[in-house]
Amino acid sequence: MDTELARTFLKVVESGNFITAAERLHVSQSTVSTRIHTLEEQLGCILFVRNKAGTNLTSAGRQFQRHASILVRTVEQARHDIGIPEGFSGTLTVGGRIGLWEEFLVHWLSRMQAEHPTISIRAESGLEPDIMQGLIEGRIDIGVMYTPQSRPGLKVEQLFEERLVMVSTNARTSTPEPQAGYVYVDWGPEFYARHSACFPSFGAPPLTANIGWLGLQHILMNGGSGYFPMRIVLPYLAAKTLHVVKKAPEFFMPAYVIYPLDSERDVFANAIDIMQSLAALKTATKTKPAAAKRTHRIAR
């Protein structure tokens, strides 16, 4: 269906008559009449009843009004999403797990803008199911997450291993198990399985957060403990705001980049190259776990 017909229909509804709608659309009244007649033929129903007072929607017209609004909004959103803004040579939409935007993807964003200033970037955060759906639908060009799903047409590459450590606001915490004030952060089903194996007597936590940032802010404000990526808590450890819980098990969770296999755009390759170089630098400089720690690698 021509969206111009839907726009004209909505303008008639808004204006209350064909004459005012024609003036607002800057076309003749006969053009408006022709468009509405064409729309009615395509739909196989009468949308308006015309009288001296103007136009009234029929029952079918009222039902179509909602669909016409959705159609016009969808087309406008599509134009906004896929259109290249003036002054830029291309666009890129990147979706990442919120925890991966902290430190890693923020650094990627800075380098990407510095090295490719003519690329317009849309940065989105979310959880794995939402990012995967965006990749499948084509709304997201590149996804960065912990637990991707294999899908036809998408390539999955590991970037680095995330080191999750238990930290606490109490420097004297000596028990390597969840205590009062412990916040369980949902890092995915694989983390849940390993966490349950290491802490079989652990019951329902008083607070569960599916966003690491939220859990971290809570314990910083209220005290407590939880598992967080070492790269994120390093500044708090240096400031002695947080402390690594001695002898608590550590978990290693891989982070992945996902993108379309058939992508031929140079911007994709440039963006992924920068991610991989940052990941390689991170891997080369990461702190190794102490020998006394129990470490657990989480496979995808």
Mind listing the pLDDT tens digit for each residue in 50-91?
887 788 999 999 999 988 888 887 776 666 566 677 778 888
Pick the CATH number of 86-300 from 3.90.1150.200, 3.40.50.960, 3.40.47.10, 3.40.190.290: 3.40.190.290
What are residue 163's DSSP bridge partners? 252
Average per-residue pLDDT for the chain: 87
Say if residue 187's pLDDT is above 60: yes
The SS3 call for residue 275 is: helix
Longest distance between any two alpha carbons in the chain, whole Å: 88
| C-alpha–C-alpha distance, residues 222 and 242, integer Å | 12
Give whole-number Cα distances, 39 to 4, 55, 119, 188, in Å. 10, 16, 40, 49
Neighbours of 268 (CB within 10 A): 16
pLDDT of residue 50: 86
The SS3 call for residue 242 is: coil
Mind listing the pLDDT tens digit for each residue in 207-243?
999 889 999 999 999 999 999 999 999 999 999 999 9
- Arithmetic mean of pLDDT, 99-121: 93
Give me the residue spans of the domains in the chain: 3-82, 86-300
Burial class (CB in 10 A: 0-12, 13-18, 19+), 58: middle
Give 170 or 137, the one with higher predicted confidence.
170
| C-alpha–C-alpha distance, residues 120 and 214, integer Å | 29
Neighbours of 37 (CB within 10 A): 12
What pLDDT band is residue 297 in, cutting at 50, 70 and 90?
Answer: low
pLDDT of residue 188: 85
Q: Helices marked H in the chain — which ranges?
A: 3-15, 18-25, 29-43, 59-82, 98-100, 106-115, 128-137, 189-198, 212-222, 230-238, 266-285
pLDDT of residue 83: 65
Neighbours of 154 (CB within 10 A): 17
pLDDT of residue 293: 58
Report percent pLDDT > 90 for the chain. 53
Report percent pLDDT > 70 for the chain. 89
Burial class (CB in 10 A: 0-12, 13-18, 19+), 10: middle
pLDDT of residue 77: 66
Mind listing the pLDDT tens digit for each residue in 268-283?
889 999 999 999 987 6
CATH class of 3-82: mainly alpha
pLDDT of residue 54: 82
- Arithmetic mean of pLDDT, 33-41: 93
pLDDT of residue 229: 94
48 Cβ contact partners less than 8 Å away, ≥ 6 residues apart: 12, 36, 55, 56, 57, 58, 61
pLDDT of residue 290: 44
